[in-house]
Structures are given as structure tokens and as C-alpha cells.
Amino acid sequence: MTDWQPDPEALRGKVAVVAGATRGAGRGIAAALGELGATVVCTGRSSRTGSLRSDYAGRTETIEETAELVDSLGGQGVAVAVDHLDPAQVAALADRLRVDHGHVDVLVNDIWGAEVLKGGPDEWDTPLWEHDLDAGLRILRLAIDTHLITSHHLLPLLVDRPGGLVVEVTDGTTAYNADTYRISVFYDLAKVAVNRLAWSQGHELAAHGATAVAVTPGWMRSEIMLEAFHTDEEHWRTAAAPPGFVHSETTRFVGRGIAALAADEGRARWNQGSVTAGELARHYGHTDLDGTQPDAWLHMDD
């Protein structure tokens, strides 16, 4: 363990958009950006306004809760209800950002929403011809179309000056996914595609002095994951879970890696790359909330 502490002024005055900030990695990323003093626009469909329908019916987390967490950590949180599959809503978000902030320094494409659709372990490895086609195509829309729509409308606000950062959040690095079948054809394609989106956007952004990186968390103790193992953040070490769970991480850990990228003036070295939360921690020296630097990917073969 280390006594690392976040610098509350490292991102003061910077504007970040975390698309898909309701829960899980998105909430952790928004919180970590807030720890460094950023203004964080937290978007998603789960809002106290009830104006949009989420694929996670019945869950209680909201983007307003995330924005309040950002505030409590020293940043400025702004909650905006957006369905990122609707180009008109994302265009309206871009208009609001242009009026309210004039520029975006960091865009995090964390939109997912298909955790229920991908199913549990008993449904994994279902062949394409036996898979529910509508569910599979919905997975692709939620995982890929949302990211494309969001980047299309928000990147003009990021490339108007050098230094912008785009982060594509996925599951598995480019190298790992190239040699590993991931749950189903649809899930596999979704996660490979998001890595490639970082690579292709990085190709286009480089001429504007901006950077795109794909980042994958490790085994993350999200709200949904903790519920699946009938535990909570206080008792997770004693949960009835597979042995690899001992290497799991909080949602803040991947967020601190992305915040470190955002604060790094030399971030262009990562352009078009694919990196894990653990690799970022080893490079930048930050830790998880308990002072450790977990990396489930180092133990994946076990």
C-alpha cells in the first residue's frame, strides 16, 4: 500500500464529459475527475427527472447522484439526462456545452447499458445461430452506435484547441481480445470495436493535437457486480466469489487512471493505445481507495 493522494487542483478549470456516468466505471471516472477539481458533465438515461427509459429497469442509481459525488470530492458536477442513441439529444447536449462551457477538454465514452442483455455465465458461449438476434443487435447499438454518435457531435468542441483527450472505455485490451473469445459473438464484436474506435479516432485527432486511448478496467466491483455476489464494498473480501475476485478493484481505480491521463501534458504518448487500469496505475503511481494497485489482467490466465 502507498499513501498516494489526488491533487485537487490538477484539473481545475478543465471540462470533462463522462457519457454513461450513472453507475459502474462511469461513476468512478466522474468521481476521479472531480477529485482533481474538474467540471464533470455527467450524462445518462437514469435521472431523477424520469424523463428517459434505461435498459436497467428498477435500478436506483442516477446521474444526479454522480454529479453530487463529484461536488463532494472537490469538482463541479453537472447532470444532463441524455439518451446517447438519439442523435438529436446528443446534438442538444453539444449545443448546451457550447453555450455553458465553450469547450470540452476530456470526453469519456463509457456508454454501455447491455449488462443484462449479455446475460450471466450460464448464457455465455451461446452460438450465434442460437442467440437472441434482437438482443444481440441491441448490444451492438448500445456499445458502438452510442460512442459514434457521441463523438460525432462532441468532438468539434474538443478539437478547437490542442490538448483534448478522448477515452473509449471497453473490456479487454486490443491484444487480449485479439486472441480471446469474449462471451458471445455480439459481446466479442462490441468490445473489439470499441478498442478500434480509440485507434481510428486517434488517427484523426492527432492532426489537431488531441489524443484517443482505449482503457479497460480490471475485475471491477460495480454496483451490479457486488449485488451479483451478494456482498458490498465493506465485506467483498469474504464474498462467495471465484478466486480471481481477490484482484478486483473499485470503480474509482480506472477513474484515477483516466484522470491521470487527462492531467498529463505528455498524454499524446498514449495516442491510439489500448491500456488497462493497472498499467496506468503503475505508470502514474496512483492507487485504488485502499492504497493498493490491483491488476486482475495480470492474473487472467489463472
Q: Which helix (H) or strand (E) holds 109?
A: strand 106-109
Phi, psi values for residue 78, rounded to 5°: -130, 120
Domain that holds residue 230: 15-299
Q: How many CB atoms lie within 10 A of CB 1?
A: 9
Q: Quick check: is 10 in a domain?
A: no
Q: Quick check: is 89 in a domain?
A: yes
> Within 13 Å and on the Cβ side, how many CA atoms surround 41?
25
Tens of pLDDT along 198-209?
A: 999 999 999 999
Tens of pLDDT along 236-288?
A: 898 988 888 889 899 999 999 999 999 999 999 999 999 999 999 999 999 99
SS3 17: strand
Tens of pLDDT along 132-166?
A: 999 999 999 999 999 999 999 999 999 999 999 99
Q: Quick check: is 2 in a domain?
A: no
Tens of pLDDT along 160-203?
A: 999 999 999 999 999 999 999 999 999 999 999 999 999 999 99
Give me the number of domains the chain comprises.
Answer: 1
Q: How sure is the predictor about 301, in pLDDT bands with cuts at 50, 70 and 90?
A: low
What is the rounded distance in angstroms from the CA atom of residue 185 to the CA atom of residue 223? Answer: 26
Tens of pLDDT along 72-116?
A: 999 999 999 999 999 999 999 999 999 999 999 999 999 998 888
- Positive or negative, the CA dihedral 173, 194, 62, 123 is negative
What is the rounded distance in angstroms from the CA atom of residue 23 to the CA atom of residue 128? Answer: 29
Q: Quick check: is 8 in a domain?
A: no
- Burial of residue 106 (CB within 10 Å: 0-12, 13-18, 19+) is buried
Summary mean pLDDT of the chain: 94
Strands 273-276 and 211-216: parallel
What is the rounded distance in angstroms from the CA atom of residue 38 to the CA atom of residue 203? Answer: 26
What is the rounded distance in angstroms from the CA atom of residue 247 to the CA atom of residue 234? Answer: 15
Q: Quick check: is 67 in a domain?
A: yes
The pLDDT value given to residue 159:
97
Q: Which helix (H) or strand (E) holds 185?
A: helix 185-205
What is the rounded distance in angstroms from the CA atom of residue 30 to the CA atom of residue 111? Answer: 13
Q: Which three cell numbers stand for residue 257?
A: 487512471
Q: Assign residue 272 a region: left if phi > 0, alpha if psi is -120 to 50, beta otherwise?
A: left
- CATH number of 261's domain: 3.40.50.720
Tens of pLDDT along 17-68?
A: 999 999 999 999 999 999 999 999 999 999 999 989 998 888 999 999 999 9
- Burial of residue 53 (CB within 10 Å: 0-12, 13-18, 19+) is exposed
Q: Quick check: is 1 in a domain?
A: no
What is the rounded distance in angstroms from the CA atom of residue 68 to the CA atom of residue 254? Answer: 19
Q: Which helix (H) or strand (E) holds 195?
A: helix 185-205
Q: Which three cell numbers stand for residue 242?
A: 471465484
Which residues pair with residue 15 across a beta bridge?
39
Q: Which residue spans within 150-254 are E strands per DSSP?
A: 165-169, 211-216
**pLDDT higher than 90, residue 15:** yes
Residue 74 and residue 14 in contact, taking contact as beta carbons nearer than 8 Å: no
Q: Quick check: is 244 in a domain?
A: yes
The pLDDT value given to residue 1:
61
Which residues pair with residue 275 across a beta bridge?
215
Q: Quick check: is 26 in a domain?
A: yes
13: Cα separation from own chain's centroid: 21
The pLDDT value given to residue 6:
94
Residue 142 and residue 114 in contact, taking contact as beta carbons nearer than 8 Å: yes
